[in-house]
Chains A and B, each alone.
Chain A
């Protein structure tokens, strides 16, 4: 019986590679020429130096299955055309390389001589593994927590509310204004704001920072006490049903509270998952504005709703560009605009922007503790980039990146401070009473 179920799941997984749907999948499964020139663009290969980490090896895992099961040439002459069976050995390789050795940062895509969308193919492989129940348990438990409790850290509502109330008191004290608020579950607000659960759990001051920005902008906003989680680890585990469920939490909550704009907090993958993938997960266009906090703060500065004084941030800053916001999100210009307005001394990393290296914490890597050693080794590339700038403060609008950068900072003794964009802007705010 169990054996039959396993076979059924394999068949379902292989169905994902069946030609049809649109032309994207079949295109990328047929495009790689295995030139290997993508190797130097991948931090796993650069840091660990093993051939198995070359991005085209990861693509080939998936495309070899496509050739085996869906091409005549692969069925007739599998050895000649590199067509492989989906067997135990293949499953283990897929888990190790698609979950454990790719953050789906997309750096290799830009540098691929053909233009193969490597993370797209890797994600397809992850979807196959998800169907076969082969998602690493550590990653799956993060998704389960989000599905079951509404946030990926399973923070009880009472604890979250307490933290928000504490931050509200801090805001009142700092602003010297009894009317300063961090609204919870309020209706008909212009902005429905979201957080990475790491904020209430470990970094409540970043909630204070964005609340200060909203205070300065005199914004009409609210948080939800239940569905505030901007992350979507369903984007990483490859289970599209779970990804859709998590997207639906925010979609339903903004409708319940009758919010006008969904503002995605400082989380790279979460912003991407809700901004760009969410409507596709849910198969409907969103009937509300759906933008990131980077867009919103840029809008505040441009329209004069907040004033910032860059002389208040005098130290040398650098920017770590989150892959999902910059390379795959088009926010490079907007992020620079905000930072240029808010800090006096910016030194860019080499390379930066769409060429920047991932911090190493993406793709769900932070949740998969079995790959911690690998994750910290690849972080050396980012550590070297940061050191070379001479910066004292690293700005990044992504809490997953913050976590990885904090560990890199500790491991490689960089002696830097990591800040979110809201924290940097809050420090530069000029608040007129």
Chain B
């Protein structure tokens, strides 16, 4: 293994370590103590929070903004796959396993589309007055790093550009726990808290309006 592979591996361990620490910390803090008389189901509320409440038909942020929503989905699909691909690259390196060619082509397609989606989201942040006002450096850095990770993965698969790939992944892993990319962890807790809050009040799951 080259030095840059070790560097990427080290940064991946740091990333996983920080997230694990935060996960344990959040779990140790637990849910809010609520002494009010519960009437609904927390379990149903939490399940709904991750399912029906996330449906694009239930969210204005999705159905009023379909191009951005679609770009976001593709972007996230690419991000998660690229992280899994990194794990695969390390494992396959140890055991000298080749990735089938058709899988490589499929991945190149996914990462390319994901990178385009990331760039389009970045452009939107640059040109929308609302987003410009809202944005901080973290928003741009997080986007550029994750988009670059898709491009680097394509470069690694297609041109075997290993140094570029590992250095970009190193930067991404070191940034992830500190930039807004940390929402990869907090997202799940936010959904759980919403399910807890609305579930115990019997507000979630919401009623299908044609069934009232």
Residue from the set B31, B130, B178, B209 with the largest chain A CB neighbour count within 10 Å = B130
The reply to whether A31 and B29 contact each other, CB–CB distance below 8 Å, is no
Q: Give complex CA distance A386, B206 in Å.
A: 23
Q: Give complex CA distance A24, B26 in Å.
A: 9
Q: A205 to chain B: which residues have CB within 8 Å?
A: none
Contacting chain A: which of B3-11, B110-118, B157-165, B188-196?
B188-196
Q: Give complex CA distance A81, B139 in Å.
A: 9
The reply to whether A56 and B134 contact each other, CB–CB distance below 8 Å, is yes
A64 to chain B: closest residue by CB: B136
Q: B139 to chain A: which residues have CB within 8 Å?
A: 33-34
Q: A57 to chain B: which residues have CB within 8 Å?
A: 133-134
Known: A22-B32, A36-B131, A328-B203. A27 touches B212 (CB 8 A): no
- Of the candidates A32, A115, A278, the one whose C-beta lies within 8 Å of that of B49 is A115
User: Min CB distance, B142 to chain A, in Å?
Assistant: 8
The reply to whether A27 and B134 contact each other, CB–CB distance below 8 Å, is no
Q: Mark A303-335, 1 if CB is under 8 A from B, else 0.
A: 000000000000000000000001111101100
Interface residues of B in 111-139 (CB under 8 A from A): 128-131, 133-139
Q: A276 to chain B: which residues have CB within 8 Å?
A: 36, 201
User: Min CB distance, B120 to chain A, in Å?
Assistant: 13
Contacting chain A: which of B56-64, B83-91, B94-102, B148-156?
B56-64
The reply to whether B60 and A41 contact each other, CB–CB distance below 8 Å, is yes
B64 to chain A: closest residue by CB: A40
The reply to whether A79 and B137 contact each other, CB–CB distance below 8 Å, is yes
Known: A22-B30, A31-B183, A333-B212. A114 touches B130 (CB 8 A): no
The reply to whether B31 and A23 contact each other, CB–CB distance below 8 Å, is yes
The reply to whether A328 and B194 contact each other, CB–CB distance below 8 Å, is no
A185 sits at the interface (CB 8 A) = no
Residue from the set A37, A284, A333 with the largest chain B CB neighbour count within 10 Å = A37
A258 sits at the interface (CB 8 A) = no
Q: Mark B2-42, 1 if CB is under 8 A from A, else 0.
A: 00000000000000000000000011011111111101100
Interface residues of A in 5-64 (CB under 8 A from B): 19-24, 26-28, 30-41, 51-52, 54, 56-57, 60
The reply to whether B138 and A81 contact each other, CB–CB distance below 8 Å, is yes
The reply to whether B60 and A353 contact each other, CB–CB distance below 8 Å, is no
Residue from the set B49, B62, B136 with the largest chain A CB neighbour count within 10 Å = B136
A109 sits at the interface (CB 8 A) = yes
Q: Mark A144-160, 1 if CB is under 8 A from B, else 0.
A: 00000000000000000
Residue from the set A51, A277, A278 with the largest chain B CB neighbour count within 10 Å = A51
Residue from the set B32, B189, B193 with the largest chain A CB neighbour count within 10 Å = B193
A365 sits at the interface (CB 8 A) = no
Q: Mark B47-90, 1 if CB is under 8 A from A, else 0.
A: 00100010000111110110011001000000000000000000
Q: Give complex CA distance A333, B210 in Å.
A: 11
The reply to whether A22 and B137 contact each other, CB–CB distance below 8 Å, is no
The reply to whether B182 and A117 contact each other, CB–CB distance below 8 Å, is no
Q: Give complex CA distance A54, B72 in Å.
A: 20
User: Min CB distance, A123 to chain B, in Å?
Assistant: 13
A60 to chain B: closest residue by CB: B134
The reply to whether B29 and A26 contact each other, CB–CB distance below 8 Å, is yes
The reply to whether B131 and A332 contact each other, CB–CB distance below 8 Å, is no
Q: B58 to chain A: which residues have CB within 8 Å?
A: 110
Q: Give complex CA distance A211, B185 in Å.
A: 52
A274 to chain B: closest residue by CB: B36
Q: B209 to chain A: which residues have CB within 8 Å?
A: 352-353
User: Min CB distance, A325 to chain B, in Å?
Assistant: 10
The reply to whether A115 and B35 contact each other, CB–CB distance below 8 Å, is no
The reply to whether A81 and B136 contact each other, CB–CB distance below 8 Å, is yes
Q: Mark B169-212, 1 if CB is under 8 A from A, else 0.
A: 00000000011101100110111011001100111001101001
Interface residues of A in 246-268 (CB under 8 A from B): none
User: Min CB distance, B31 to chain A, in Å?
Assistant: 6
Q: Mark A77-113, 1 if CB is under 8 A from B, else 0.
A: 0011110000000000000000000000000011111
Q: Give complex CA distance A39, B68 in Å.
A: 14
- Of the candidates A52, A110, A329, the one whose C-beta lies within 8 Å of that of B201 is A329
Known: A30-B183, A31-B183, A111-B60. A22 touches B33 (CB 8 A): yes
Known: A37-B61, A81-B138, A333-B212. A285 touches B187 (CB 8 A): no
Q: A38 to chain B: which residues have CB within 8 Å?
A: 61
B141 sits at the interface (CB 8 A) = yes
The reply to whether A24 and B31 contact each other, CB–CB distance below 8 Å, is yes
**7 A-B pairs with the lowest CB-CB distances in the bound complex, closest first:** A82-B136, A37-B61, A330-B202, A330-B203, A279-B35, A23-B29, A27-B189
Q: Please, could you name 30 A-B residue pairs with CB atoms under 8 Å apart, sorted by A? A: A21-B32, A23-B29, A23-B31, A27-B186, A31-B187, A34-B135, A37-B65, A37-B68, A40-B65, A80-B136, A80-B138, A81-B137, A82-B137, A114-B187, A114-B190, A115-B53, A115-B187, A115-B194, A276-B36, A278-B36, A280-B33, A285-B35, A285-B37, A290-B37, A330-B40, A330-B202, A332-B206, A352-B209, A353-B206, A353-B207
Q: A36-B128, A80-B141, A332-B206 are in contact. List 6 more A-B contacts (CB 8 A).
A: A22-B30, A51-B130, A280-B35, A326-B203, A332-B203, A336-B212
